[in-house]
Each structure stands twice: as C-alpha cells, then as structure tokens.
Chains A and B, each alone.
Chain A
Amino acid sequence: MAEVDAAGEDAVDRTGAQRYAAEWARAVRRLGFVPLSAAETERLLLAYTLRLADALRTDESVASVAEEIGRAMVETNLTEPGMIEWSVRALADRLPARVLCGRGGSGAAAGLAGRIAAAQGGLAAGFARALRDRTFVHQERIARSAWQARDAVEQALRDSEARFRAVFSGAAIGIGIADVDGRIIDVNQAFADMLGYPVEELRRLDVASLFHPDDVAGMSELYRELVEGKRESVRAEQRYHRKDGTCVWADLAVSLIRHDDGRPRFTVAVAEDITGRYELQRRLRFQALHDPLTELPNRTLFFETLGRLLGQAGPVGLCFLDLDGFKAINDSLGHDLGDRLLVTIARRLAGCVAERGYLVARMGGDEFAILVDGDAGIDGVIAVAEAVLAAVSAPVFVDDQQLMVSASIGIVDSEHVGASVAELMKAAHTTLYWAKAQGRGRWAVYDPERSARDIARSGRLAGLPLALDRGEFVLHYQPIVSLLDGRMLAVEALVRWQHPQLGLIGPDRFIGLAEETGLIVRLGEWVLRQACRDARGWHTEFPDARLVVSVNLAARQADAPAIVDTVADTLASSGLPAELLQLELTESAVMGSAEEPLRTLHRLAGLGVRLAIDDFGTGYSNLAYLRRLPITCLKLAAPFVEGIRGDEPDAADHRDERIVDALVRLAHALELWVTAEGVETEAQAERLRALRCDTAQGRLFGPPEPADAIRTRLAGG
C-alpha cells in the first residue's frame, strides 16, 4: 500500500501518517495539558507529521521545517518535557517505519539517517528556543502583574492613609499614638492644643510624664496592663498637666493595637477635653449635696452617708441639735442677721469635729446633725455634744450685735435604737424634744422605755384631732364571705391611723381615746362618708357584686341626734344604694332601755340601710327586746369562734360549739343573718358551716386591706 514514486525515493504512507499522528496525539495528551480536543490534537499533529515526512523524503532543509514544528508545539502549549522527548525519539524510532515506506538502498538509508538526525536537532532546537522565549514572556508578564497588583494595593493604601491622615489631623478630638514603651509617636493638633504643647514637643515626650500626680498610681497601673496586653482598652476620666501648669480633665479612651501575631504594638489614645463639663458636674454635685447658705453638707448627703454607715454594720452615733429660741432671734433681728448667725454656728460646728472628720450637716432651718461614726461609743458621742454646746455658747458677733445663743442636743446611737435610718431619726427628734424640755443648752440621751411611754400617751392624745384634719386616717376593708359558696358579700370598714412617725396604728390604740375625747363623732362620720364613697366606687364598677359595706357606729355616734340625717346625707351625696350599707352597733348601744335609741334605729332602718349587732354574745342581750329591733344581722364575737377548733373536740370546744349552735338557732329563729368573726382556719369554717352559720369574716378569708385591694378582688371575680 505504500506509494513509491518514480525516483525510488521513500514515499509518504498517508494511513501510516494518520496512525503515527494518532499515537503522537495520545502520547502528548497523556503527558501534559493540551488545550484542544483529541480530534483537534490529532488533526494538528497529522499536519506536522506530513510536513516532517515530506521534508525527510525530499532533501528539503529538513532542520528548519522541524524547528518550525518544535516552535509550533510550544505555541499550542505542547510544552511538557516528556512531549518533546517522545517527539524526538519517535522521529527516529517510529516515523520512518510507519510513514516512509522506502525501498532505497543503503545509500538512500544513509541519507535518511542524516536527515532524521537533522530533523531531531531542529525539532529540539525549535522547541527549546520557543519555550525559552515563552517562559521569558510569562515570567515577565506575571512579575509585571504582581507589581501592578501591588501598585494598585499600595495606591489604595496611600489613598486610605491620606484619608486617615486628614481625619487624624482635622479631628476636633485629641488623638495620640504611643509605642509600648510609652514614647509618644504622633499626636494631632487637637491633642496638642488640649495639653498646650506644640505637636513637635509632645512627640518627644513620654506618656507617663503627662499623667497628673494625683492619678499616677491608678493610671500607670492600667496603662501597664494595657501595654502588656492584659486588657484591650482603658476608659477613664483623667486629669492631665498642661504645659502652663494648669490641669485639664479629659475623657480618655486608650486602645491597644497589636502586631499580626498578637504582640502589643501601639496604644492609641482618644481624648476629649471635658474640663468644663467636669467642673460643672462637680459644682452641680456639690450644690446638690450642700446647703447653699452654710456650705455644710445638706440632708441628702447626710442621709446618703448615714445609710452607708448603717449599711457597714459598725456603730453610728448621732447628735441632733437645734438652736434654742432661734425663731425669736430671727423674728426680732431679721432674716438677714438670722442667716449670718447660722453661718457662724455652722462654722463652729464644723470646727468642733473637723479634726476627727465627722460629718456635720444642716438639716434645715436651725437644725443640724453630726454623724459620729466608728467606735466612739455613747461616751464619745456625749463628748462631741458637750464640745458643741461649748462652742455654740461663746458669744456671736453679728454686725455690732453681740448674741448669746445656746443649743439643745438629742443624742442617739445605732446600738440602742436600731440600724434603720427612719428609727434613728425618729429617736433623734424625740430625744431632742426631751433635751429641750429640760431647759436650754442641754443634751439628752435616747431612752427606749421613756420613748415607748411617751408615744403611748402624749403622742396620740395630742395628735388625734390634728390627724383627722391632716387626713392621716385611712380605711381598710375586711371581706365578709358566704359560708355556702365563699362569695364575698360584704366588707367591714376598719379605720387605721397612718401616723407620720409611728407608721400604721390599729384602732385599739386610738378608738378608746377618740371616744374619751368625743372625737369619735367626727371620726365616725369621716369613716362613714369615706366607706360609702369607696363602696359607691365598687358598686359603679361591679354592680353585679352587690357588695355591702359594713361600718361601725360607736355608741356615742348612735346617740347623736344628727345621726339619721348624717347617714341620709351620706347616702345621698355618695350615691350608694341604702341596702348596700350596713351599720354595726354594739349590744350596749342598742340594748339601752331608752326609747330614743330605738326610734333612731327605726329611722335608720327606714332609710333602707341594714343594721347589725356587733360582738354579739359579749354583752347583755334582752332577747325579748331583740325581737323588736329592726336589725338584719348578728355578728358572733370572735372568742366563740376561737373556741371552735374542729380538730379534736375537747370540753371547751364542745361548750363553745354549743353556744354558737344556740346563737345561730336563735338568730335564725329571729330571721337574722349570722356572721362569725375571727375565723382563722379551714376547720373552723367547716364547723361553722355545719352549724349553719351564714357568713364569716377572719384571716382565713382575707385580712383587712386597702380599698384598692378589694377592687382587685372584685375584678378577679
């Protein structure tokens, strides 16, 4: 099949060439990356094969043809060393046999061998030259690209640097950068201005040299932690020395900048001058805590300090004083002189205790207080009091007036009074009052027993009418519930005295007094009106509850001629339906033989209100008389209920139970409701239910509570 030409030279075997090209293509594709498909590769290499074969056959300058092909290989990325190796080898090993089918003699063979060697050389040289050129180009290009990329990044860095520079130098806030040894590397103009140095000079300074001596310890500690990498930032209000020696307050934020590997590298401080704000704050704080006239600490600071000292659990003593007869001085000499007197006294007081550092406060008017903390003991506090009395009593010269003043002092200490601010102050007032009662220029020490007696007597007696005027009484309401279904049917109004010093006082401690003094009539009327107002409120909001309010009428009240009018007026002005008001009277109030009470009761009943007998069973009841009374309800006195415990019935139990049983039967026989008072346990309630008692009242069903609590209960269903 080989085609032999006339000259007898080797001819090209096309099929052989195709097979050769296919082998060649397979080889190069195996050996390296060829950016062509297999068919394309084969087509390309077939062209090379034919050209090479042609050149080998004829005497054409085979070396240059092969060189071109070597170069072309590189251009098509046939650059793997293995590829050229295969190609060079195959040129001798395979190509002649496969592609050139010669029949020539040895002379021709010798000529072919020479041409093959030349082709091999040319192919290798062309490949090598082209590959070298290509490598130079590639290397140069990638290096240039790297530089371009770097330039671009650097340009971007320069741009960003320029932007940050502009921010840095133009910032109104001070910015400084220092290395970890504390050397200042750079500061901006604002920072330099704040400290009053030229930028250049600051750049030569050390961070530590700027710290204010008073702050150095704390600040250098924080700063050390920062540069050691133990903290990332420090925020502080910090004083600095300005170059001119004055001091500037800065709100300072220092952050640590680290190397890539985490080692501390720089600190960056951002500082704002807050001297103005700081001074203002200090002035405001001083003003808030000091009395403008005497510049002594004021009540606020006094209470703050007292609270803190008491919180620390150590003993605290207190001298509470005022000037004797200061009002008279003020009135006769005028406020201006009075004020100047106070300033002088304040200075003396401060002088007395300055050495020991006790706090002297002006509590208001001519009242002062001295806090004696630590372990001075009561004797120590007395010593202070005596020093104060001596200091105050020295003549005071105001203008050309010579004034003799004295003070009285109440002495208290936390060990004897207790560690609450309120208790201590209450005791202090009381004790000062005792001191004054002894005459001028005296001190008194708090005596708990005397105080207890005082409170019991004078305090209440004197305070009662005033308390009514000042609105110091409040009403609490105790639920009265149905024993059948537990529903709240009524509430009993109970009066309390909200005493400004003693706190909430129960009726047992003032009702007797009120009755003695006759105040009970006014107080009772207030109770009635307030209770009706509250009840009207509930009724408006919860009309379906039909909650009855039960109000106690004292005997004296019930006797008062105006009572019916008062009740009628109260109902009218409050708008409370009469049937929602129950008046509780004591047995004694209704059992009198007089006709008058009876008529009053009938007129009250005529208004439509309900009447109940309170504490039934404790007084003397005339059963026959009871029948004639227009009453609707009996309230069993608590002692009977108390006797019923329900659990293990003993004798007493039985007796009380029998009494209750009898009373309930009696009441029911008279068609009266029965309310048991003082029910405390479920067992009692159970027994009472068994005895057919209708309603009950007591801790079990809720303590007396403010009106709002009843509202909440109604709202809760």
Chain B
Amino acid sequence: MPDGLPTEIDLSRPSAARVYDYFLGGGHNFEIDRQLAEQIAAMTPNLPATMRAGRDFLRRAVRMLLDAGIDQFLDIGSGIPTVGNVHEVAQAANPKARVVYVDIDPVAVAHSRELLTGNDLTAVLHADLRDPEGILAEARRLDLLDFDRPLGILLAGVVHFVPDTDRPADIMAALRAAAAPGSHLVISHSTFEDQPQEMLDAQRLSARTATEITLRSCAEITGFFGDWVLVEPGVVYMELWRPDSPSEVDADAQRFGAFGGVARYDRAAD
C-alpha cells in the first residue's frame, strides 16, 4: 500500500465518492453517505443539480477531447463509476480508447476494479492527487498510456479537495509537465464566486467526508491551466461550457457553483 494513503477503511464515515454517486441516482452508497447527502441537499437545494451539471460537463469535455483526436485518458478523482463513465463515453466513440482511473478512496478503487474487470483498455490506481509524481510513475508502470502522445488529463470535481497548503498549482504543473504536446487538461472546480451563503456553509459540511473542499476564484482556477491554451469559451460556469443545446442553459448558470474549462498544450512556436 502506497505511503500516505488511508490504512483503515472507516465505513462509519461518509465518503465523497459515495455521496456523489447518491446525488447521481446511483445505489453505490451506504446509509451514512445518504444521510450526509440529504443534509447537504437540504441546505443547498442547488447542490444536486451542481453535481449533475459536473457530470454533464465531464461528458461534454470528454467528447470534445475525442473529437480532437484524444484516445487516452488519465482520470484523477474518478470516483465510483455509476453511469456515464469516462471509458463508456470514450469507448462508445472510439473502442480503442484507453482510460486510467485514479482515486484516493479505496472503496471507490475496489469498486472500479470490479466494474472494469475484463476491460483491458482500462486500469485503476489507488493514489493521491497530491502526489502527482507517484501517480505518473505508477501510470507509466501500467504501460497503458503513451506519454509521448497526446493525453487527456481529467480533473473533474477533485482539485477542490486539495487545500492550498498542498500547493495545488505545483501539482497541476507536475501533471502538465508529464504530457506531450497536443494533450488536453480538463478541470472542473467549485467556487465561492457569486455563491449564496448556504453554498459556502455546505462547504463546511464537506469536512465530514474524508476531505474538506477549498472553494477558489475563477482566476485561481484559470491559473491551474498554466501556459496551456484554453479552448473556447475558456473557464466559465460549467453549464456555459459548450452546452449541447443553448436552450438548455439555465438563466443563472452561476447557481451551479463551479467553473469548468479545457486547455490544450500547443507545442511552443519555434
């Protein structure tokens, strides 16, 4: 077991992955997770919708990457694959697409492994985003992804679990540094900008799951993309990012308190 990862499975505490699954309508959760989910939902009626919007964003982003020719993905903080998983979306478009899932939650990892048995083009790592070098080393060892070719790095709804003291910008930089030109980085991240008080309160509740959430500004989140080139429309409220149909977009998209964006690594012009 890698250092620093949980050495106890504490089922008496809710898990972010299982709470998320519940919000998406999945049944991969326990009473304790559902209680917390209901509590959060009661405080912030928007939150379930935000979660769904997050999952939708991920789907749209993955499709965009597929359209851009990306056929290998590193999905960090992948959670419990309920429905609309990255490999499903990707392999529906390109049966040869490869996906490596990474999560810190051992139950989520075990679950993903079970679900993915027999799918040779996927793998699951139990690792911590805060140790990007560890993730990269293990991913390389799997020999599933080719780091010399364009890669899709997916960080959906996970970077806000990394507090400032763990230097998220450095982590992002380390991940970016490992990728070849043409690679894409997908980030969605909760924010405090334009948020009602109850949203900010809910953040405090998140401390009850294994990790607390750090809300960040649009500028901070934009910074995580470094010098990679943001694709249109940049870092925006998730719903506003390339909606399937404009009619679907909510009048006040900020009610989903999270930003999303995708950036591409263009080879430096020289």
Interface residues of A (CB under 8 A from B): 29, 32-33, 35-39, 77, 79-80, 134-135, 137-139, 141-142, 144-146, 148-150, 152-153, 156-157
Apart from A35-B59, A153-B1: 14 A-B pairs, beta carbons within 8 A? A33-B23, A33-B24, A38-B244, A77-B82, A80-B25, A138-B26, A138-B28, A141-B115, A145-B107, A146-B9, A146-B107, A146-B110, A152-B106, A153-B9
Q: Does B111 contact A (CB under 8 A)?
A: yes
User: Do A148 and B1 touch (CB < 8 A)?
Assistant: no
Identify which of residues 50-108 in chain B touch chain A, using a CB-to-CB cut-off of 8 Å.
51-52, 55-56, 59-60, 80, 82-84, 106-108
> Which residues of chain A have C-beta atoms less than 8 A from B196's C-beta?
none
User: Do A35 and B84 touch (CB < 8 A)?
Assistant: yes
- The smallest beta-carbon distance between B103 and chain A, in angstroms, is 11
Q: Does B197 contact A (CB under 8 A)?
A: no
> Which residues of chain A have C-beta atoms less than 8 A from B248's C-beta?
29, 38
Instruction: Determine which residue in A37, A138, A139, A145 has the highest number of CB atoms from chain B within 10 A of its CB, and name it.
Output: A145
Choice from A36, A142, A144 contacting B27 with Cβ under 8 Å: A142
Given contacts A145-B107, A145-B111, A146-B110, contact A153 B27 (CB under 8 A): no
Choice from B7, B18, B84 contacting A157 with Cβ under 8 Å: B7
Choice from A35, A36, A146, A152 contacting B1 with Cβ under 8 Å: A152
> Which residues of chain B have C-beta atoms less than 8 A from A138's C-beta?
26-28
The answer for the CA separation of A156 and B126 in the assembled complex, in Å, is 14
- The smallest beta-carbon distance between A271 and chain B, in angstroms, is 29
User: Do A142 and B1 touch (CB < 8 A)?
Assistant: no
Q: Does B120 contact A (CB under 8 A)?
A: no
> Which residues of chain A have C-beta atoms less than 8 A from B247's C-beta?
38
User: Do B30 and A153 touch (CB < 8 A)?
Assistant: no
A-B contact pairs, 11 of them (CB 8 A): A80-B25, A138-B26, A139-B27, A141-B28, A146-B9, A146-B11, A148-B110, A152-B110, A153-B1, A156-B1, A157-B7
The answer for the CA separation of A36 and B106 in the assembled complex, in Å, is 28
A-B contact count (CB 8 A): 88
The answer for the CA separation of A32 and B51 in the assembled complex, in Å, is 10
Q: Does B164 contact A (CB under 8 A)?
A: no
Chain B residue nearest in CB terms to A80: B25
User: Do A142 and B30 touch (CB < 8 A)?
Assistant: yes
Given contacts A77-B84, A149-B9, A153-B8, contact A142 B107 (CB under 8 A): yes
> Which residues of chain B have C-beta atoms less than 8 A from A149's C-beta?
9, 106-107, 109-110
Choice from B8, B51, B55, B107 contacting A35 with Cβ under 8 Å: B55
User: Do A148 and B114 touch (CB < 8 A)?
Assistant: yes
Q: Does B29 contact A (CB under 8 A)?
A: yes
User: Do A37 and B244 touch (CB < 8 A)?
Assistant: yes
User: Do B245 and A39 touch (CB < 8 A)?
Assistant: yes
Given contacts A138-B27, A141-B114, contact A153 B107 (CB under 8 A): no
User: Do A153 and B106 touch (CB < 8 A)?
Assistant: yes
> Which residues of chain A have C-beta atoms less than 8 A from B24's C-beta?
33, 77
User: Do B114 and A144 touch (CB < 8 A)?
Assistant: yes
The answer for the CA separation of A208 and B27 in the assembled complex, in Å, is 57
List 6 A-B pairs, minimum CB-CB distance, nearest first: A35-B84, A138-B27, A145-B111, A149-B106, A145-B110, A142-B28
Q: Does B6 contact A (CB under 8 A)?
A: yes
User: Do B111 and A141 touch (CB < 8 A)?
Assistant: yes
> Which residues of chain A have C-beta atoms less than 8 A from B59's C-beta?
35, 37
Chain A residue nearest in CB terms to B89: A35
> Which residues of chain B have C-beta atoms less than 8 A from A137's C-beta?
27
